[in-house]
Structure 1
Amino acid sequence: MLKNPAEKYTAFAPIALPDRKWPAQRIERAPIWMSTDLRDGNQALFEPMSIDTKLELFAMLTRIGFKEIEVAFPSASQTDFDFVRRLIEEDRIPEDVSIEILTQARDSLIDRSFESLVGARRAIVHVYNATAPVFRETVFNMDRAACIELAVRAASRIREQAERYPQTEWTFQYSPEVFSSTELEFALEISERVAAVWEPTTQRRMILNLPATVESATPNVYADQIEWMSRNLSRREAIIISVHPHNDRGTAVAAAELALMAGADRVEGCLFGNGERTGNVDLVTLALNLYTQGIDPKLDFSNINEVARIVEESTQLPIHPRHPYVGDLVFTAFSGSHQDAIKKGFAVQSKKDTWAVPYMPIDPRDLGRSYDSVIRVNSQSGKGGIAWLLETGYGLTMPRRMQVEFSGVVQHVMDSSGTEMEAGDLWRLFNQTYLDAAVPFKLRSHSLKESGDEHRIELSILHHGKEEQRQGRGNGPLAAALDALGTACTIHSFEERSLSHGSGAQAMAFVEIAMQGIPGTLFGAGCSTSITEASLQALVSAVNRAFAHPARAS
């Protein structure tokens, strides 16, 4: 049993911001996106990516539309250094893309980082130092003054190095690490001191990244922190406020969205949320959340399957089948009630200007995905899902009461097997249940004559395998055929649908009958290029099913 958490953990204190504005705001445009898949995401892997793998992933990130990509920690390893050099020397960086590198606040590491960037058209140099109390005191044994001194010295070194390479368009970025656990007044003080060194202007802005390096409170607290910083920065118009939410509490996407409402301009994260511990904020989910609200995310996920494949191959990390928007099962419904609602939504969707299908917040086709697996059938499924698969896969549209009847047949099979049924399995079961029913009667041929309102019919049938000729009459072909068969049945309904188009189109006919001693009604089905032939087959199918019904045997 868990211990009393109050004895061990201290809840995060709320922010004194009684006039907070962010709850009444709405996100109206996409933020500046920064992908850290190649740096933060890479350092979280069992096996870091090779240079060739990183090159492929970098190319994909630029195709998607990222204009800022953190590519490496070049002072930390030769592999990272060499990767930055290859990007620059092989001219792999589009003209409108800024690469970003990360460095710790040490002179030698800053110098090495600038060496890796020589020749770049534009680059972001990102420096950080730990500012949260537990890191200052436990990890680095520093007080506030020492932290500020370290940050200011690093900022000065970065400015000096940048001035040595005027051919590059430099952007400076500073992160007070674990901002979300740092005293707000101290986070503001150290950020102001760094900004004083870099002297940002509205024409040459600096980036102030305020990371939830360890998510430690509810998303609304993070939003309060961002709004408080945004209000109190003296050079706010010259500063891009960036957020870098991690997912320790499982709320990184919510934290990022509320931070944007609170004034953040930029978001750092990874595709599908890869990163240390529980990961970084998931940029795909965040971007597509905007898309579903009618906001252009400025990132192209119209071929989400390709993006997922490249990321999985690059990271060797599988994407969960229920991952938002991209998981293999995220557009799949097994529940009968869900399937019925989705089927009805698709039936009327073509008449609407905006997307409005129950249980589906986004059109799968916008992401390059098909409708093929939207509905799948298992033991939890109902008539709607079964009908959808047969309709989309085989053009078969059953009458509604027949959907109910056939779903019972499917349910019986599913309860026995416990496995999923695909469209082909359902089609075979439909044929076995209706089209292949041949006992006691099998229709061989027919001859039909009309005389006024009376129809006369001659049927050539097999009755328990023995060929027979039977005649009947009635006010229509089905009534005449029923008379010829000599069974005590009543026809309740008849429907005919086309399975295909053109001169060779197949007609599917459905006949619903009642037989004394059998509760309710039973359906039969027939298929032929002739409507009359299909309807007669359907009648024989229904009669055969009536003779096979368990109620007759009892």
Structure 2
Amino acid sequence: MNHNKYTRGYFMPPKTSLNWTRKEYITEPPIWCSVDLRDGNQALIVPMSLEEKLEYFQLLLKIGFKEIEVGFPAASETEFAFLRTLIEQDLIPDDVTIQVLTQSREHIIRKTFESLKGAKKAVVHLYNSTSVAQREQVFRKSKEEIIAIAVSGAKLLKECGEDTEGNFQFQYSPESFTGTEIEFALEICNSVLDVWQPTPDNKVIINLPATVSMSMPHVYASQIEYMSENMRYRDNVILSLHPHNDRGTGVADTELGMLAGGQRVEGTLFGNGERTGNVDIVTLALNMYSHGVDPLLQFDNINEIIAIYERLTRMRVGERQPYAGELVFTAFSGSHQDAIAKGMKWREEQECKYWSVPYLPIDPKDIGREYEGDIIRINSQSGKGGIGYVLQLNFGLDLPQGMRESFGYHVKSVSDRTHKELQPKEIYDLFQEKYVNIKAPIEFVRYRATQQDDYETVVTVRVNGEELEWTGTGNGRLDAINQALQTNLGLSYNNLIYKEHALEAGSKSQAVSYIGVTDNKGTSSWGCGIDVDIMASSVKALFSAVNLLKQQG
């Protein structure tokens, strides 16, 4: 690896005001333009068919895009046919504008307008490459010749727009803007604007793409701000951004570019596109959403969107993709699980107006994710808080703190031994097997109680198949049974911990009780009882705890 063969190929503005650095956050959404069907589609191993593009177009409408780049109609028959189908079958809603791309070449421009006949409203997107590398290596033309290409294309767009049935708005992109001297980028954009002469009623779009991301995000923002502050007809220009993700900073480039004057964003769902892709509009929109700004795009059923996207593009949304990935709201770490579980409980208790749960930047339910199985998942790294949360959320079991800890170690050891994640049902089955209604070595059969000064209780037990009656006294039925067990088994334990509640998951008529005991050697044991009768569930919990204590002894 020889780093000396690389140099910085971008150009800082001659003067930077850095006004964008004084802005805290984006206060309103940009004009969104999806380029999935053009820029995204051309990057697919197998580009979408006509039928697939029609289905994808409907998905974009459902999400809420009002501007959609539908293709490069002069490039192929499929692209041309797709656009004609949209127009002729009246598939474009009145409040949606389609966009098409064209190079600054006469036969391509004329073919493009032929494809647009009858369009209610369309953006015609003209581009030519302007960077030093493209000028010198690909086109071998001077700056003046590159300007001439742009100006001739702009004039032809104006001419064809006047001669073609339809309603057209013009857009110009100095492709490879980030590798272009900033003064030259300004000069060529202003030359195009002089041809189009935009007005308040006929605004044009100047799109400044990071065709290849070449700098840190603050440099792109400074370039955008310079163009915004020095461009002619600025009030009649919609300044558009089109970042790619070569440096992994597409989202940051876009957000800082918006602070610097960008009013419109071209991107794709989940960042599909050439090389590392376009900027991910899902991430951008939900970043705004997490700051309390309505992005005006609907991602409330992200799983459905992902399913359609993956089927039509044959691409895959990664597990760690921001917001959309399968695991992005999931905690395996014990400390994270504990914080999330406590945060969710705190929200219930406080009736919070604002979302502020640890480790969860937005409420997963807002994008159609469920708490069950999404937020907390259990493996060998998990903790008692997460395991307890899974049992409570899925099965209504609210374990005492000490029991959570004891069971947590058991679950972690099982996951570690089997080298796999444990599903909620598997965790529940482990709990049932270890703690619930344990019948060996002593099985509870029934009890009867009489009350004088104290409760006297006769409890029937089964040991090795033989039924025995043991008698005990105490200040209540459970205490009396407890004394009977200790006396007849020769046990001594204290610090009895007791908790009970209705079992809300499943049959609402059942009750669940938990009991913990500690013997004089410091050995602790927990048991759980479940029964339709609250007293019976308590007795079964006691027997379970005592049986497990005997098994340890």
Please classify the TM superposition score into its range, dividing by the shorter chain length.
over 0.9
> Who is 1:393 aligned against?
394
> Who is 2:108 aligned against?
109
SS in 1 for 2:273: coil
Match for 1:206: what amino acid?
A: V
**C-alpha spacing 1:243/1:541, structure 2 compared with 1 (3 Å):** same
Match for 2:75: what amino acid?
A: A
Distance 1:503 1:316 in 2: 44
> Who is 1:496 aligned against?
500
> Who is 1:510 aligned against?
514
Match for 2:421: what amino acid?
A: E
List per-residue Cα deviations over 1:91-111 (Å, max 9, x = no partner): 000001111000111000000
> Who is 2:536 aligned against?
533
- Contact 2:437 2:541 (8 Å CA) reproduced: no
Question: More deviation in 14-23 or 532-541?
Answer: 14-23
Question: Which of 167, 170, 173 is residue 172 of structure 1 equivalent to?
Answer: 170
**2:403 paired with 1:402:** yes
User: How much identity, in percent, do the aligned residues show?
Assistant: 45
Normalising by structure 2, we get a TM-score of 0.96
Distance 2:333 2:155 in 1: 61
Distance 2:347 2:448 in 1: 45
- Contact 1:17 1:224 (8 Å CA) reproduced: no
List per-residue Cα deviations over 1:158-215 (Å, max 9, x = no partner): 10000012x4221000000110110011000110111111111121111000000000
Q: Using the TM superposition, give the Cα deviation of residue 447 of structure 1 relative to its aligned residue in structure 2, in angstroms.
A: 1.0
Q: Using the TM superposition, give the Cα deviation of residue 13 of structure 1 relative to its aligned residue in structure 2, in angstroms.
A: 5.2
> Who is 1:340 aligned against?
338
**2:96 paired with 1:97:** yes
**C-alpha spacing 1:245/1:444, structure 2 compared with 1 (3 Å):** same
- Contact 1:459 1:471 (8 Å CA) reproduced: yes
Q: Using the TM superposition, give the Cα deviation of residue 482 of structure 1 relative to its aligned residue in structure 2, in angstroms.
A: 2.1
Instruction: Report 1:315-354 matches (<5 A).
Output: 315-350=313-348, 351-354=351-354
- Contact 1:457 1:481 (8 Å CA) reproduced: yes
Distance 1:203 1:451 in 2: 95
> Who is 1:77 aligned against?
76
SS in 1 for 2:544: helix
- Contact 2:11 2:181 (8 Å CA) reproduced: no
Match for 1:379: what amino acid?
A: S
- Contact 2:290 2:362 (8 Å CA) reproduced: yes
- Contact 1:498 1:506 (8 Å CA) reproduced: yes
> Who is 2:37 aligned against?
38
> Who is 2:262 aligned against?
264
Q: Using the TM superposition, give the Cα deviation of residue 503 of structure 1 relative to its aligned residue in structure 2, in angstroms.
A: 9.8
Instruction: Report 1:70-469 matches (<5 A).
Output: 70-165=69-164, 167-350=165-348, 351-372=351-372, 373-452=374-453, 454-469=454-469
Q: Using the TM superposition, give the Cα deviation of residue 7 of structure 1 relative to its aligned residue in structure 2, in angstroms.
A: 4.1
Instruction: Kindly tell me the number of residue pairs found equivalent between the two proteins.
Output: 545
- Contact 2:186 2:227 (8 Å CA) reproduced: yes
Match for 2:288: what amino acid?
A: L
Distance 2:330 2:18 in 1: 40
Q: Using the TM superposition, give the Cα deviation of residue 342 of structure 1 relative to its aligned residue in structure 2, in angstroms.
A: 0.6
SS in 2 for 1:121: strand
> Who is 1:9 aligned against?
7
SS in 1 for 2:119: coil
- Contact 1:491 1:511 (8 Å CA) reproduced: no
Match for 1:43: what amino acid?
A: Q
Normalising by structure 1, we get a TM-score of 0.96
Distance 1:157 1:420 in 2: 62
- Structure 1 runs not aligned, ≥5 long: none
Question: More deviation in 428-437 or 353-362?
Answer: 428-437
- Contact 1:305 1:368 (8 Å CA) reproduced: yes
- Contact 1:178 1:214 (8 Å CA) reproduced: yes
Q: Using the TM superposition, give the Cα deviation of residue 305 of structure 1 relative to its aligned residue in structure 2, in angstroms.
A: 1.4
Distance 2:506 2:451 in 1: 28
Q: Using the TM superposition, give the Cα deviation of residue 501 of structure 1 relative to its aligned residue in structure 2, in angstroms.
A: 8.6
Distance 2:32 2:507 in 1: 55
**C-alpha spacing 1:455/1:17, structure 2 compared with 1 (3 Å):** farther
Match for 2:234: what amino acid?
A: R
> Who is 2:473 aligned against?
473
- Contact 1:482 1:489 (8 Å CA) reproduced: no
